[in-house]
Structure 1
Amino acid sequence: MKTHGIILSVGLSLLVLSSCTVVRQGEVGVKRTLGKIKPAPLMEGAKGFNPLVTTIIKVPTRTMNIEVRQPLPSKEGLTVQSDVSILYRVDGQQAPKIIEQIGRSYEEVVILPVFRSAVADISSRYYAKDMHTGQRAEIEKAIRELMMTQLKGRGFEIESVLLKSIALPAGLSRAIEEKLNAEQDAQRMQFVLDKERQEAQRRVIEAEGIRDSQKIINEGLTPMLIKFKTIEAFNKLSTSPNSKIIVTSGDSPLMLSADKM
């Protein structure tokens, strides 16, 4: 009798445990009873149910990441390989409808096919080189917006589409690299030319300054000023203690040292 009691207790305990589940944060529960989906989602917390007729399906509502390696067709007909991250989340209020209409494999059934259609449509509008430049953000935004349009009302929010590890065709990669090198060489040459041009302008300005200075001096040297400066020079020479001979015509002195005579 004791053995039967223990077995009964264990069986009841297992039944109780199997009839309870916990819905954690970042997910909702979808109750299916006798094959019918309940329209209201189960929020986080412990939930009891009859395991004989009911199943609780847990659907994550936090941000999910799908990694895809996708060939991208370009406008000129080339194929660019890229690793793509699709960040999306499920609207918890619409989780029962998603499970009812699509099932648990909604990534493979809906999100990935919509992504492949959108990325082929958008990438074919751009040249391959655009996917490797600053236009990548523009392409990502356009893919996301097109996906949101196609998934509107279905309970999915596409947060971001990120193009990573863009692999251009070998010939195009070399052409882009050569173009960048040529642009850098042109920029360096432009820098040298600008520097030489600035130096030439500096010399012109310097020459103009010297010319203007000489012009001002020449215009200021009147005969009276020259005679006045000559008289000043004579006065300074006359007060000098050194022996010297001054030869002059009265206009400008010529000084000879007496020691060298």
Structure 2
Amino acid sequence: MDKLPKIALPAIFALIVLVIIFSKSTVTIGSGQAGVLYRTFGDGVVTDEPPMGEGFHIVAPWNKVFVYEVRQQEVFEKMNVLSSNGLDIKLDASAWFQPKFNELGKLHQEKGEDYVQRVLLPTIRSAARSVVGRYTPEQLYSSKRDAIQAEIFEETKKIVEDEYIQLNEILVRDVTLPPTIKEAIERKLRQEQESLEYEFRLVTAKKEAEKVTIEAQGKADANRILSASLTDKILQDKGIDATLKLSESPNTKVIVVGGGESGLPLILGNN
């Protein structure tokens, strides 16, 4: 019984050591993550092998594993930039990105775990200042927001692709102009809209007047043609036809007493 404690203590100590070693030798990579292996007694960061994927891994206890999020992520950035005429513009943008999976080791080795602050955000700021500086406040307020969004994306992507970052999208969420400039632009847009509306009314009125003129001219031309075609002989024949039709009516009594100046019969009564 006296020897049991002497045997048990080393065994307990050995068990504790084994548990520590085992815990140091296992790594679990979560969903949407990947691990970069660092060999302490080797060449350091492993860049010539694919990173560790999701799941359970056993590594030497003296090595380290750095875990990265490899799913698409979003980062927000608010910045002050200058327009082409030097006015201060507030730009609210976000970026969708993810590290390139097969180059994760190089990203860790060259940029580190805070690569978003070191590489991505400074590049977005630089691209935004460059792009917004090409446009006036009026263009930023109205028609050019989609254009600057696309240009910021292209300029940022061109740089970060060489930095092992995959840029998926840049979203310009808000462009804030100085209040006085915004009011001036809105006033100008209202005036332009009113001017366009006035021009539309003028064009509509002109077209309506042209329509009335054309209709009147058509009627005048028709009457002139009709007058030119009605000779005395045609009028006399039409009068005779009308008189004959009237005399054939059962409800009409016609007394013909002679001819008028035109040679047509005279109707004295119809009762």
TM-score computed with the length of structure 1 as normaliser: 0.87
Deviation at 1:70, TM superposition (A): 0.7
CA distance in 2, matches of 1:47, 1:127: 56
Which position in structure 2 is the counterpart of 1:220?
229
Paired letter, 1:30:
V
Counterpart-to-counterpart distance in 2, 1:27 and 1:253: 114
Q: Residues 205-244 of structure 1: CA distance to partner in whole angstroms, max 9, x if unpaired? A: 2112211221231122122211211211232343344456
2:53 alignment partner, SS class: coil
Aligned to 1:106: 115
DSSP 3-state at the match of 1:118: helix
Match of 2:56 in 1: 46
Q: What displacement does 1:194 show?
A: 2.3
Structure 1 residue 106 displacement after superposition: 0.6
Q: What CA distance in whole angstroms lies between the structure 2 residues aligned with 1:176 and 1:54?
A: 62
- Cα distance in 1 between the residues matched to 2:129 and 2:206: 50
Q: Name the CA distance, whole Å, in 2 between partners of 1:178 and 1:257.
A: 78
Of 6, 11, 20, 2:26 maps to 20
CA 251–27 in structure 1, closer or farther in 2 if over 3 Å, else same: farther
Which of the residues 38, 48, 51 maps onto 1:32?
Answer: 38
Contact kept in structure 2, 1:27 and 1:92, CA below 8 Å? no
Relative to structure 1, is the Cα distance of residues 165 and 235 closer, same or farther in structure 2, using a 3 angstrom cutoff?
Answer: same
Structure 1 residue 133: Cα displacement: 2.2
Q: What secondary structure does 2:122 align onto?
A: helix
Q: Which blocks of at least 5 consecutive residues in structure 1 are unaligned?
A: none
In the alignment of these two chains, the number of paired residues is 258
Structure-2 residue corresponding to 1:172:
181
Distance 1:134 1:250, change over 3 A: closer
Question: Alpha-carbon deviation of 1:47?
Answer: 1.1
Q: Which residue of 2 aligns with 1:97?
A: 106
C-alpha RMSD of matched pairs (Å)? 2.6
What code does the residue aligned with 1:249 have? E
Q: In structure 1, give the amino acid aligned to 2:260.
A: T
Of the three residues 155, 163, 168, the one matched with 1:146 is: 155
Which consecutive residues of structure 2, in runs of 5 or more, have no partner in the other structure?
none
1:135 aligns with 2:147: no
CA contact (8 A) 1:230 1:251 kept: no
Residue 245 to residue 105, structure 1, CA distance change in 2 (3 Å): same
Secondary structure of the corresponding residue to residue 150 of structure 2: helix
> TM-score scaled to structure 2, two decimals?
0.84
- Going from structure 1 to structure 2, the CA distance change for 1:250 and 1:113 (only over 3 Å counts) comes to closer
Q: Alpha carbons of 1:21 and 1:256: their partners in 2 closer, same or farther (altered >3 Å)? A: farther
**Which residue does 2:261 correspond to in 1?**
249
User: Identity of paired residues, percent?
Assistant: 25
CA distance in 2, matches of 1:251, 1:95: 116
1:196 counterpart = 2:202: no
CA displacement at 1:107 relative to structure 2: 0.9
Shift of 1:198: 2.0
Question: What secondary structure does 1:46 align onto?
Answer: strand
